[in-house]
Amino acid sequence: MIFVFALFLLTLLVITALAIVHTENLFVAVMLTSIFSLLMAANFFILDAADVALTEAAVGAGVTTVIFLSALALTGEREKPRVGGRNIALVTVGILALLIIYATFDKPRLGDPNAPVHQHVAPWYLEKTPEYMGFPNVVTAVLSSFRGYDTLGEVFVVFAACIGVLFILGVRPPRESLEPRDESSGLRHHLIPQVVGRLLVPFIVLFGLYVQFHGEYGPGGGFQAGAIIATGVILYALLEGEAEALRAVPRSVLLGMVIGGAMLFGSVGVVCMLMGGAFLDYSVLAADPVWGQQLGILIIEAGVGMAVCGALLSIFHAFAARESLS
């Protein structure tokens, strides 16, 4: 019966994807992309992937739409249709589709328990987590300690993106016609959303912190928390106007957060090494290994949360500042 929903949502997904590609007006494409990520999150939820649904929701609807919109504000909105070249694209894409469908013939069908994927490594994680870590959320356990190195790599990807955007947008726009537009005053004259927004922002940030620190028990963790807190501050920036947001969380603090988060993660790894364990082996951190793991994971999640939040906010400010400049 659950599959009925899955079936239903997937068809919606395909329709949205086709619509996105078809529309002319870019703004509509962005709106449909946010619907697309809403649907993806719902699908993930049905397929029992709560953590991933939360991340897709926090990142997809919140941050991606905002970044797309601010980029759209800087560039034109119309899209010119391209003439010709249709068939080459169709041919290549067609071959690819056949290739994939050919691969699906003898893949295990959805959800059969004896598929090889469930045999080898997964059950080990499921048994070992309560024993080693002592908390229920297996996904966070695997994410932060069993495969902690991936997450370290992950933090540095966010770090690289943040550096990249600052680097690329660091250049003053060459155009001379730089009439200083009035500071984007946000929705100043929309009174009601402002009042409600101001009421909401603390709740969003509070909820972000809640997600951050209870990552072990329910769906949550560093990435999601960072994204949610970033969305909260972006909401504040939208309402109050970008200048106040900068005043509230100045740019240097943001960059400090990103670097702090990345360094925290790396240094925890190094500390474990110094205390004799392997690179990211938290069990050496405290006397009894289970406590050590929990302590290590807690610090790691805090580091990740800080890095992600700082990075997303500095990207947002880079775009928003650009908007008021050009």
Partner 1 sequence: MYILVSIAILVTMVLALVRALLGPSVYDRVLAVNVFGTKTVLLLSVMAFLNGRPDFLDLALAYALINMVGILAVLVFFQSRSSAKERAESD
Partner 2 sequence: MIDIGLDILSWILLTLGGACVLIGGIGGLRLPNFYTRIHAASLTDTMATLLIFAGMMLQAGLSLPTLKLLAIMLFLLLTGPTATYALANAALLSGLKPDAETVTDNDKGHAG
Partner 3 sequence: MLSAPLVVLLQPRGLAWAGATVAALASFAIALALTIAVLDGQPQVYAMGGWPAPYGIALGVDAFSALVLLVVTGAGAASLLAARPSIDQQIEQERQPLFYSAWLLGLAGLVGIVVSADAFNIFVFMEISSLASYILIAGGPDRRALPAVFKYLIMGTIGATFYLIGVGLIYMMTGTLNLADMEARIGDVVDMNPILVAAGFITIGLALKAAVFPLHVWLPNAYTQAPHMVTVFLAACATKVALYVLIRFDYLVFQAKLADHEVQFALFAMPLAILGILVASAVAMFEGNLKRLLATSSVAQIGYILLGASFVSQAGLSASVMHIFNHALAKGGLFLAVACLAYHYRDLRLDQLGGAAARMPWTCAALVVCGFSLIGIPGTAGFISKWLLISAALESGPWGWGLVAVILVSSLMAVVYIWRIVEAVYFRAAVEGDSQPAEAPLQLLLVTWLVALLNIFFGLFPGVPLELANSTATLLAGFAS
Q: Give the interface with partner 3 as residue ranges (CB under 8 A).
A: 99-100, 102-108, 115-122, 124-125, 128, 145-150, 152-154, 156-157, 159-161, 163-164, 166-168, 170-171, 255, 259, 262-263, 266-267, 269-270, 273, 277-283
Four-CA torsion 320, 38, 34, 53, nearest 10 degrees: 40
Whole-angstrom distance, CA of residue 28 vs CA of residue 23: 7
CB environment 187-198: b (16+ within 10 A), e (fewer): eeeeeeebeebe
**Site for partner 1 contains 77 (CB under 8 A):** yes
First to last CA, the chain: 53
In the complex, least distance from residue 104 CB atom to partner 3, rounded to whole angstroms: 8
Looking at residue 38, its amino acid is L
Record the tokens describing residue 13, joined without a space.
């997904």
**One of 12, 19, 71, 200 touching partner 2 (CB under 8 A):** 200
**Site for partner 1 contains 5 (CB under 8 A):** yes
Query: 177 in the Ramachandran plot: left (φ > 0), alpha (ψ -120 to 50) or beta?
Result: beta
In the complex, least distance from residue 319 CB atom to partner 3, rounded to whole angstroms: 16
**Site for partner 2 contains 196 (CB under 8 A):** yes
Looking at residue 130, its amino acid is P
How far is the CA of 267 from the CAs of 43, 112, 124, 294, in angstroms?
37, 42, 28, 17
170 binds, among partner 1, partner 3, partner 2, none (CB under 5 to 8 A by kind): partner 3
Q: Which stretch binds partner 2 (CB under 8 A): 101-109, 186-194, 220-228, 247-255?
A: 186-194
Sign of CA dihedral 70, 74, 80, 86: negative
Given the rule CB under 8 A, which residues bind partner 1? 1-2, 5, 8-9, 12, 15-16, 19, 25, 27-28, 31-32, 34-35, 38-39, 41-42, 45-46, 50, 53-54, 57-58, 61-62, 65-66, 69-70, 72-73, 77, 184, 186-187, 190, 193, 197, 200, 203-204, 207, 210-211, 218-220, 224, 228, 231-232, 234-235, 238-239, 323
Given the rule CB under 8 A, which residues bind partner 2? 25, 187, 190, 192-193, 196-197, 199-200, 203
